[in-house]
Amino acid sequence: MTHKPFTWILLLAGLLAIQATAQYNRPENRIWAMGNTIGLDFSSGAPVPFRSSLSNATEGSATVSDANGNLLFYTNGATVWNRIGNTMPRGINFTGAGGTFTISTTQGAVIVPIPDSAGKYYIFSLSSVSNCKLYCSKIDMSLDGGMGDIDTSFYLHKTRIDSNLTEKMIAVAGCNNNIWLLVHSDTGTLFKAYEITSAGINLNPVISYAGQYPAAYYRQGVMKISPDRQRLMTCNFRASGPTDAGLEVYDFNFSTGVVSNARLVDTFSYYGGTFSPDNSKLYAQTTAVMNEGTVFQFDLDDPLPISSKFLLGPSGQYADMRLGPDGKIYFGALAAGQGWSNYMYMGRINAPNNLGTACDFQDTVTALRLATTAGTVGALTQGLPNEVPVPSGSTDTLVYKTDTLICSDFAPFTVYAPAEAYGFTWQDGSNDSAYTITQRGTYRVVSLTPCPRIDSFIIRGADFPDTWHITVNGYVLGTSEAFDSYQWYRDGQRLDGATSREYTVTENGWHAVKVDIGPCSDSIAYYVNNVSIADPGNLAYNVRIYPNPANGIVHIAASIPVHTSISSLDGKVVLLHHGNVPIDISTLQPGIYMIRITDQHNALLKTEKLVKTAQ
């Protein structure tokens, strides 16, 4: 018999292994407009400089593309340009706070896709220096003939929604089709997380207190989220001196919006920075000497990151850093006499997951000279565009359903959840991370990872009789047991119309029947010739496998030469033998296997379960 194998690989490893989804390599983040009329386009895989219409973006800006990576619009927080570089009809001073009020804000602009609202986006704008003010505007891409424009009917249009903030602002995708807008108070170690859902913006933010510096130390410098969205960092910049601020890392719960567990990484003043793709390294840029910055790497796996501080090389004096869609980190590069702005090149870290010099730091990349067409040269000043968060598109819980087909004798087995999952509740009320499946049926588990979710899966299938075989009555072949359906074959060729339990033989050759029980199939073969057609003996009856169970040598007794294969229950062949020779199974793990016996023409003679016992 040939049984369809178990599909019982650790189910929960696939069902519960929620990894926080990185945003940096999504199509919506493939194009960056930044600085003064320049940008980078990653659509081809490698970054290509291009000319944009963006201006007055000394520091913060934001760019968004659609789900296919096609540019939609970009902004400095005060003016917005469409995909062909024209100012949107209502896109000048759209906050009402002034046409250049974000020009010197570290992170002055953030674009957020509105959940469940295709073609609709929020632009968050933040003023500069101290007592920064927060505004929100709405873009509707159906306006201006599909080029997009400001929706002046939006209830927050030209309305200040917060104040007394620092220049730090980012947006982070949450768990349940929501997004968090993170800002920092100018009056203390206080983070605010505004939740954005399909219903709008919750103007009562989640409040977190974390950090050890005076409020003023947080005013300038970037805030960034790690690709797994579970770590937050602040580069705290003070122009008055290199030791007047510090670099901090926090935990971030993207299920609740809470910031916690502040850790000091370094006591220097840092302006720009970002995380490595694997979340293990932190890169930050500080001003070391006049008109020049320096990039350092920190190993976050080190219990004391400050002790793993590694000098990489020079950068622009005040230069942000951003993880690109290609998994490399980019920053403004120093050129002689340029000082704090007008960086003509980009620097790059090519292998940011690697420690020390293995990260492949390049202070200037010649191919990334930020020159534009027609002899007009644009330049990067300090900032890079903020990352666009993309909502998950899920409902309150993520539901996955996996049908697992078992077409042989059922044996209990255990599924295990990955280490990052916690808070389990199974359908029977148990709370363990491991669960033993004892019978076919539907199973359901609620877990946190950290997002609440529900997983359900179905174990289905049917048992075949252990000893069913082909019966012989004259020239009529049949099956010893009844099944749901039948299909007969001769020498591997399907016999049209031969779909009954019995089949009358008309020619010599190998005759096989495929049978079904529900979704499960099985088959067996019998050789017919004019001499033995009336002989009720079946070659399979003359094949014996012993001992079974066994833990060492298994013998194959047969009247003809045979080939033997032993497979695990997932169908993988683990031993293959030719001839009627003893088989040593001592190296196999204890468990249940399938042993298959064929003749020299590869015709199936017998299949049965083989139990390998412990030594």
- The H or E element that residue 483 is part of is none
User: Which amino acid appears at position 301 of this protein?
Assistant: D
List of residues 6+ apart from 275 with CB closer than 8 A: 224, 225, 226, 227, 231, 233, 281, 282, 283, 323
Which residues is 456 bridged to in the sheet?
401, 444
Positive or negative, the Cα torsion across 300, 304, 308, 313?
positive
List of residues 6+ apart from 427 with CB closer than 8 A: 442, 443, 444, 445
Nearest to 286 by CA among 298, 271, 276, 301: 271
Residue 229 burial (CB < 10 Å; 0-12/13-18/19+)? buried
Positive or negative, the Cα torsion across 164, 168, 170, 174?
negative
Nearest to 598 by CA among 512, 514, 475: 512
Tokens found for residue 405: 């087909």
Contact 433, 460 (CB under 8 A): no
Which residues is 606 bridged to in the sheet?
597
List of residues 6+ apart from 70 with CB closer than 8 A: 83
pLDDT tens digit sequence for 180-229: 999 999 998 999 999 999 999 999 999 999 998 888 889 999 999 999 99
* Rounded CA separation 110/248 (Å): 22
Contact 198, 393 (CB under 8 A): no
With helix as H, strand as E and coil as C, how does 433-473 read?
CEEEECCCEEEEEEEECCCEEEEEEEEEECCCCCCCCEEEE
Cβ count within 10 A of residue 587 = 8
Nearest to 185 by CA among 216, 159, 160: 216
Nearest to 463 by CA among 610, 598, 609: 609
Q: What is the pLDDT of residue 542?
A: 65
Q: Which residues of 179-201 are buried (b: 16+ CB within 10 A; e: fewer)?
A: bbbbbbbbeebbbbbbbbbeeeb
Q: What is the pLDDT of residue 453?
A: 74
* Rounded CA separation 156/524 (Å): 73
Reduced to 3 states, what is the DSSP secondary structure of residue 145?
A: helix
List of residues 6+ apart from 565 with CB closer than 8 A: 573, 575, 576, 577, 595, 596, 598
Instruction: Output the DSSP codes for 317-381.
Output: SS--EEE-TTS-EEEEPP-TT-TTS-B-EEEEES-TTS-GGGG-EEEEEEEEE-B-GGG-B-BB-
Contact 156, 140 (CB under 8 A): no
Helix-strand-coil percent breakdown of the chain, rounded to 5?
Answer: 5, 45, 50
* Cis peptide bond N-terminal to 561, omega within 30: no
Q: What is the pLDDT of residue 204?
A: 96
* Rounded CA separation 269/106 (Å): 14
Residue owning tokens 């033997």:
564
Q: What angle do CA 8, 10, 14 make, to 5 degrees?
A: 115
* Rounded CA separation 58/110 (Å): 15
Q: What is the pLDDT of residue 612?
A: 86
Q: What is the pLDDT of residue 409?
A: 67
pLDDT < 50 regions, the chain: 1-20, 336-337, 372-376, 394-401, 531-537
Residue 576's φ and ψ, nearest 5 degrees, are -140, 125
* Rounded CA separation 124/109 (Å): 6
Cα torsion for 422, 427, 430, 432, to the nearest 10°? Answer: -30
